[in-house]
Structure 1
């Protein structure tokens, strides 16, 4: 039976002590509310449905996210850590002051709709600039995992994970942006002229191998086997290691990179940046100069990841089988592989003409 007492401030405090459960205390403005809560809570204990909601009601979303970023995020890969810290910013802006227990499916749906409509971001003319569907999907994925961890590991008395009851934005169509001959000539010429030769090597290696930028810039000397003409990737996006064969051109590029006179003996990275405050060299960060160069070349909408798309499409056009392309690119399923392969219609015309000639 609950004990209900009046406090010196005039409120009513309900205290429930029941064998097998922690002592539960809650304060109310009205005595009736304290009695109702006590009956409901004791009933939940009897039926085995009791949840200790106090911690979740006191913990704000902002503090919960701070704990998640401190305890959970560091166990993920560096690229994922960076992404989660960026996605936490808009989530904190919207949910930060709410108690964790106060985040409902309705609130999550409001967040989704506002982000997709771009209501939180305006351009110079005051017009809303919508967020990409995939951006919002990744933010909801982080939000959902935070609640999963809070439920399963932190022992917070949450009734459910509100993100599970919310529709995720439909994924957009896969990008099929490819370089035309003129764009490729201008872009590669600009890359070749850059003062740091590492940019040239990185961009051209991406076209030749289909490797992601993160896979290229984190390469260590021990991962490149020039005798067998292969690169062994240990950490990849899908977590599975793979071995990438090198074309003649890719082999030549790696030979140049390995012979880089700017590398000191204590640097194991193939593509390295300037020493940091701690005197350590980290992977070469070429994003800023890449953005400038592609704008100057007249293809500002071209992304570095599109080079992977370009490479994989060229593998297919060269006649490699799906299995062979998958072995090089690391795609787990043929469905995912199809999103990155985009055959040029003009190349297919020539093949159709050959078929027609045979038929005649």
Structure 2
């Protein structure tokens, strides 16, 4: 055991004890070095010592790289996840050693992201990556001494519940604008979304093997909650699917998420429809299907495990409810 003065603002502690790994760390002041030495020796004496070497010699940037290699490939939405990791790596916090990152640092990152104009829901996704990374590092990457500083930080309040539905002649105007777009797949995509309440990614992932037009059922293998489900097809949905050409790839819709998103924005602008997102069509479809199915059946169709989530997508119009009173 020794504390060595190596120059201005450099006090190095080296601890050697039989049965334990050699520990070494450099501090700016002697008092910090002595405090760290006392802490490590006390933990060794009490039999609760856990090596901090890995956490003290590995930066957040290095862990983000490993997370991208080992963890992200097992996730859905890999492209978006990798994009967020690139942004985190560009932050000064990425150069810090894992053991030195505190909750105050995570809170500062949170506030900076919000100040840059990122939505609370987006910031929560960044924090979720960091929290998962710290937990993985502690459990699987030899950093057992590591605490998760993200768990101590307040998450931004997310208020992203929407009640946007198609009003008046918006559906007709939207479909007409879709037909005038350069993407021939947009109109059938919109109709299928309105008729089935499927997510955009689920529709784009459909193959002809997934659809049984005789039984009027679409089988979704890849879903957001990870569980496959069957979705009933209306007469209108079946007619649209029957009209589509078939390709060697087997995919029903020969377009991409990016192309669909851009085309939909242009169609809404052309139709003079404001504040409408493609995902709002899922709200529209769920509200329509709620007039036919009971809540438990509706949850099976939409893929929600919690009936509370179904209610987030069910937006009956007051005038329609009034009609039921007679």
| TM score, norm. by length of structure 1 | 0.82
Pairing partner for 2:179 from 177, 192, 209: 192
Specify the alignment match of 2:61 in structure 1.
62
- 1:218 counterpart = 2:205: yes
Matches within 5 A, 1:1-360: 2-4=1-3, 13-28=12-27, 34-77=33-76, 79=77, 81-94=78-91, 95-116=93-114, 119-120=115-116, 130-156=117-143, 158-172=145-159, 174-257=161-244, 260=245, 263=247, 265=248, 267-273=249-255, 285-316=259-290, 318-352=291-325, 354=326
* Equivalent pair of 2:178/2:267 in contact (CA under 8 Å): yes
- Looking at structure 2, the residues matched to 327 and 343 of structure 1 have their Cα atoms a distance apart, in angstroms, of 19
Give the SS at the match of 1:83: helix
**What is the CA–CA distance in structure 2 between the aligned matches of 1:284 and 1:12, rounded to whole Å?**
54
In 2, Cα distance between the equivalents of 1:41 and 1:98? 21
TM-score of the aligned structures, taking structure 2 as reference length: 0.90
Given that 2:55 and 2:146 are in contact with CA atoms closer than 8 Å, whether structure 1 keeps it comes out as no
The 1-side partners of 2:101 and 2:27 are apart by: 22
Cα distance in 1 for partners of 2:191, 2:205 equals 16
* CA shift digits 1:198-220 (9 cap, x unpaired): 22211110100000011010112
- Asked whether the equivalents of residues 271 and 283 of structure 1 are also in contact (C-alpha less than 8 Å), the reply is no
Q: Name the Cα RMSD after superposition.
A: 2.5
Q: CA deviation at 1:56?
A: 2.3
Quote the Cα distance in structure 2 between the aligned partners of 1:200 and 1:256.
12
C-alpha separation in 1, matches of 2:9 and 2:277? 64
Q: Which structure would you say has the larger RCO, counting Cα contacts within 8 Å and 6 or more residues apart?
A: 2
Kindly provide the CA deviation profile for residues 216-266 of structure 1, in whole angstroms up to 9, marking residues without a partner as x: 101122111112110111111011111001110011111112xx16x2x3x
Unaligned runs of 5+ in 2: none
Deviation, structure 1 residue 158: 4.3
